[in-house]
């Protein structure tokens, strides 16, 4: 068939201002015909792939002079590519809002006669070296701009391609499946050892599942945000016939109706507002954002005109039926993000159905969000991916090498969410200098890694949150905790919510306890948090408060010496200041129903291979997991004392001589106990041990929030 060569101009970022001036223009030559071809290139900001009508094949990119396409923009310089992210890096969350989505979306929907295609937002990149590919599959709008809130963060760790379906395109669903499938196979062929991520929003969720069903041999990770697989049960079914009969002149009112049905305007307007601001400023900014947002809603009528809306609804019905009939063929790893206030689809129930229907499916619920969850405040897509351990750059997830440190916005949010706990516990951090002097703060803890912090595990691990937070605040260094492997399994996910404590641990670098992970952490010069007492110490019995319960083996000394790590023993007290243990394991196991349930759950964990120290003798081998009965008290205070650093650099004798390693092991254990004995005695002299006294001090102290403590 004859073809006509013409020029296609594309705005890669689609960055608009009220005066709309493209920030960067890419000139791309393409073949215009029914069998036209948009060839793919990582180096082109707006990436083309085979059109829907094109037969499945791959075409080389060569010089334009030879009649084919060539990259219009040079590849990023190697020096622009980062090797790692620093702790508290800027993820850009809140710098772009729904207003940007509406402005950009209204501009790019202008008819261009082209087929569906891929583009990369200019703010998404350059990513880390060896980053996996992420393909965003849009919802009903088809613009591909649904990641506008997340593209800066995602672009740091993914190669982001977004699918744009022109507003007047009428490609049927099965052809869209083939189109995305060709891209997946092409990218898999070039990087067979990397996973490919498909992020499907609503309709895009159906598309992602269908593509995964057709490509079971490819390593895919699906992130589904309120997938439209439940469209046959939508609450809008009675309204669909009315949309067909609605006169064209009234269609401008539909976007306003859809905006309230599909999303929460308040959450959309809160995206770039700091929740730590005074209430008056929050209300003022929220009012301005809402006014601005409503003023731009008319643009939805251009993004989804009436005839397109009717086509999309027909497409949704087809997509839902198509993908549901093929769920059995999906081998991909799946994460479903479900809203509790989705007024368009029964997303909460659908998430549970998909979890039961798919082989490897994880669910996270956001009870206060609406259908357009990716455009609403309080939902950071990259944070969810990280907290559910879904980010990886190879076939298997590596908790050390694939770890992404917390960003500024993540740290800010967790600080806000846990501020009540910090206020209640008022943590006091003390450390010991090389000359033996005790000082306030962490000046005595070495900054150069590897550093191994070895200490006492308080009841339920209550000390972990303030410890990691204060360590990061004061040193700008993240503590990588070694945790029980059960925390990283489906056994702890009965009904996981968005703010799960276990997810927060993983977000801040918690790693399953294995020799391999311990080795990698020390090899990468990390600051590692180790509790030799493990679950037995954290779930101690009555009368065992502040008793160090460690195994006889020197599990960590020889490994630390191998890498020349600095060991810092620490003690912590205060669990008895905030809660009283009323039901321990011995009490619970004697209660018929509860005892049977605890034994059953631990037996299931053992069958799954998640036992720790099962080969040991004595009390430390009793690693039964359960939730003890606690009686809250008027909060007292947490006290941490980090002992004098113990240097193992150059001590290769510790690696070879087990007796010397045992001597150092007993020394560390003794210092942990001595640190706690010191704190138990000195806290009696603290005038601000009680939360009420600390609250009064903060109310009247205009100079500092650093509440004083005892003299040392």
Which single residue is written with the structure tokens 């560390």? 668
pLDDT at residue 18, as a whole number? 31
Going by pLDDT thresholds of 50, 70 and 90, the confidence category of residue 487 is: confident
CA separation for the pair 34, 482 (Å, rounded): 58
Please, are residues 400 and 511 in contact by the beta-carbon 8 Å criterion? Answer: yes
Is residue 81 pLDDT above 80, yes or no?
no
β-bridge pairing 333-339 and 220-225: parallel
Query: For residues 44 and 323, which has the higher predicted lDDT (pLDDT)?
Result: 323
Q: Which 8-state DSSP code applies to residue 228?
A: G
pLDDT of residue 38: 32
pLDDT per residue as tens digits for the range 505-528: 999 999 999 999 999 999 999 999
pLDDT of residue 54: 38
- Pick the more confident residue, 291 or 94: 94
Q: Could you read off the pLDDT of 230-257 as tens digits, one per residue? A: 998 886 666 666 666 656 554 445 554 5
CA dihedral sign of residues 684, 689, 690, 695: positive
pLDDT band at 495 (very low <50, low <70, confident <90, very high): low
pLDDT, tens only, 650-676? 999 999 899 999 999 999 999 999 999
335, containing H or E segment: strand 333-339
Q: Is the pLDDT of residue 75 over 50?
A: no
pTM: predicted TM-score of the whole model, two decimal places:
0.83
Q: In the beta sheet, which residues pair with residue 453? A: 529, 568
* Per-residue pLDDT, 309: 78
Question: What three-state secondary structure class fits 13?
Answer: coil
Task: Considering only residues 22 and 177, tell me which one the structure prediction assigns the higher pLDDT.
Answer: 177
Mean pLDDT taken over the chain: 81
Task: Tell me how many degrees the CA angle 347-348-350 measures, rounded to the nearest 5.
Answer: 60
Query: Residues of the chain with pLDDT > 90: what percent?
Result: 58
3-state secondary structure 347-373: HHHHHHHHHHHCCCEEEEEECCCCCCH
pLDDT of 594: 83
Q: What is the pLDDT of residue 56?
A: 34
Would the CA dihedral through 342, 344, 348, 354 be positive or negative? negative
Task: Tell which wins on pLDDT, 636 or 39.
Answer: 636
Whether residue 13 is predicted with pLDDT greater than 80 in this model: the reply is no
Cis peptide before 133 (omega within 30 of 0): no
Confidence of residue 689 (pLDDT cuts 50, 70, 90): very high
pLDDT tier, 381 (very low <50, low <70, confident <90, very high otherwise) = very high
215 contacts 236 by C-beta, under 8 angstroms: no
Rounded Cα distance, 305 and 228, in Å: 20
**Which of 103-107, 455-459, 517-521 has the least mean pLDDT?**
103-107
Could you give the percent of the chain with pLDDT greater than 70? 75
With 70 as the cut, is the pLDDT of residue 260 above it? no
Q: Note the pLDDT tens digit of each residue in 324-334.
A: 999 999 999 99
> What confidence tier does 437 reach under pLDDT thresholds 50, 70, 90?
very high
Q: What is the pLDDT of residue 272?
A: 67
**pLDDT confidence of residue 24:** 30
pLDDT digits (tens, 9 = 90+) for 18-28: 332 323 323 22
pLDDT score for 499 = 61
Supply the pLDDT for residue 671: 97
| Token code pair at residue 68 | 């084919």
Residue 2: predicted pLDDT? 33
Mean pLDDT of 193-221: 97
Q: How far apart are CA 382 and CA 387, in angstroms?
A: 9
CA angle 594, 595, 601 (to 5 degrees): 85
H helices of 325-432, where? 347-357, 381-387, 408-417, 419-425
Burial of 391 (0-12, 13-18, 19+ CB in 10 A): buried
- Determine the pLDDT at residue 635: 93
pLDDT on residue 672:
98
Helix pair 464-475, 408-417: axis angle to 10 deg: 140
Strands (E), 472-510: 479-483
- pLDDT, mean of residues 66-86: 50
pLDDT of 32 over the 80 cut: no
**167 vs 189, more confident:** 189
229 or 593, greater pLDDT = 229
pLDDT the model gives residue 298: 52
The stretch 484-497 carries a mean pLDDT of 71
At residue 144, the pLDDT reads 93
pLDDT of residue 603: 75
Nearest Cα to Cα of residue 676 among 626, 709, 638, 707:
638
Instruction: Flag whether pLDDT at 78 surpasses 80.
Output: no
Q: Is the pLDDT reported for residue 139 higher than 60? A: yes
- What does the pLDDT average to over 367-382? 91
Q: Report whether pLDDT(687) > 90.
A: yes
Element holding 118 (H helix, E strand): strand 117-119
Identify the pLDDT of residue 601.
76
pLDDT at 276: 67
More confident residue, 289 or 337: 337
Q: What mean pLDDT comes out for the span 41-52?
A: 33
């Amino acid at each position: 068939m004859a073809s006509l060569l013409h020029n296609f101009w594309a705005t890669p970022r689609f960055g608009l201002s009220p005066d709309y001036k493209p920030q960067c223009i890419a000139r791309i030559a393409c073949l215009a015909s029914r069998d036209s071809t948009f060839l793919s290139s990582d180096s082109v900001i707006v990436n083309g792939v085979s059109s829907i009508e094109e037969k499945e094949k791959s075409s080389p990119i060569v010089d334009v002079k030879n009649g084919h396409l060539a990259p219009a923009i040079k590849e990023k310089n190697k020096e622009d590519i980062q090797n790692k992210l620093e702790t508290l890096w800027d993820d850009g969350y809140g710098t772009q809002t729904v207003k940007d989505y509406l402005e950009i979306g209204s501009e790019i929907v202008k008819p261009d006669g082209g087929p569906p295609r891929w583009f990369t937002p200019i703010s998404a990149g350059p990513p880390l070296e060896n980053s996996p590919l992420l393909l965003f599959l849009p919802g009903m709008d088809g613009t591909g701009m649904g990641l506008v809130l997340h593209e800066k963060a995602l672009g740091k760790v993914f190669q982001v391609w977004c699918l744009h379906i022109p507003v007047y395109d009428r490609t049927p669903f099965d052809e869209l499946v083939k189109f995305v499938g060709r891209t997946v196979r092409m990218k898999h062929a070039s990087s067979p050892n990397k996973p490919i991520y498909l992020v499907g929003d609503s309709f895009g969720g159906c598309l992602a599942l269908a593509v995964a069903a057709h490509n079971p041999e490819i390593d895919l990770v699906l992130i589904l945000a309120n997938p439209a697989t439940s469209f046959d049960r939508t609450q809008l079914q009675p309204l669909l016939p009315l949309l067909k009969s609605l006169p064209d002149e009234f269609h401008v009112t539909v976007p306003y109706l859809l905006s309230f049905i599909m999303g929460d305007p308040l959450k959309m307007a809160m995206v770039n507002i700091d929740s730590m601001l005074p209430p008056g400023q929050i209300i003022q900014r929220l009012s301005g954002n809402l006014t601005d947002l409503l003023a731009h809603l008319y643009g939805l009528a251009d993004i989804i005109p009436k005839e397109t809306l009717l086509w999309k609804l027909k497409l949704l019905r087809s997509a839902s039926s198509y993908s549901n009939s093929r769920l059995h063929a999906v081998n991909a790893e799946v994460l479903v993000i479900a809203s509790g206030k989705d007024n368009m689809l029964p997303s909460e129930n659908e998430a549970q159905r998909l979890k039961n229907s798919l082989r490897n499916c994880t669910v996270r619920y956001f009870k206060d969000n609406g259908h357009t969850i990716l455009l609403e405040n309080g939902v950071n897509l990259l944070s969810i991916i990280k907290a559910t351990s879904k980010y990886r750059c190879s076939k298997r997830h590596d908790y050390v090498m694939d770890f992404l440190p917390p960003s500024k916005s993540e740290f800010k949010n967790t600080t806000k969410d846990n501020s009540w706990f910090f206020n209640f516990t008022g943590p006091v951090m003390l450390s010991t200098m090389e000359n033996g002097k005790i000082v306030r703060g962490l000046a005595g803890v070495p900054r150069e890694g590897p550093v191994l912090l070895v200490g006492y595990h308080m009841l339920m691990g209550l000390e972990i949150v303030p410890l990691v937070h204060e360590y990061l605040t004061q040193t700008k260094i993240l503590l990588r905790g070694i945790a029980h492997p059960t925390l990283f399994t489906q056994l702890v996910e009965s009904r996981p919510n968005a703010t799960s404590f276990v997810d927060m641990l993983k977000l801040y670098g918690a790693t399953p306890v294995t020799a391999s992970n311990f080795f990698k952490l020390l090899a990468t010069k990390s600051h590692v948090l180790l509790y030799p007492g493990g679950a037995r110490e954290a779930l101690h019995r009555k009368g065992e408060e502040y008793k160090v319960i460690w195994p006889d083996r020197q599990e960590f000394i020889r490994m630390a010496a191998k890498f020349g790590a600095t060991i810092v023993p620490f003690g912590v007290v205060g669990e008895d200041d905030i809660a009283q243990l009323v039901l321990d394991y011995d009490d619970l196991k004697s209660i018929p129903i509860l005892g049977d349930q605890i034994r059953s759950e631990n037996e299931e964990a053992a069958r799954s291979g998640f036992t720790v120290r099962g080969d040991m003798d004595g009390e430390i081998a009793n690693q039964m997991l359960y939730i003890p009965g606690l009686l809250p008290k008027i909060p007292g205070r947490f006290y941490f004392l980090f002992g004098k650093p113990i240097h193992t650099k150059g001590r290769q004798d510790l690696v070879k001589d087990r007796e010397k390693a045992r001597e150092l092991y007993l020394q560390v254990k003794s210092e942990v106990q001595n640190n706690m004995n010191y704190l138990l005695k000195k806290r009696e002299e603290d005038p601000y041990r009680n939360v009420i006294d600390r609250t009064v001090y903060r109310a009247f102290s205009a100079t500092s929030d650093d509440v004083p403590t005892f003299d040392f």
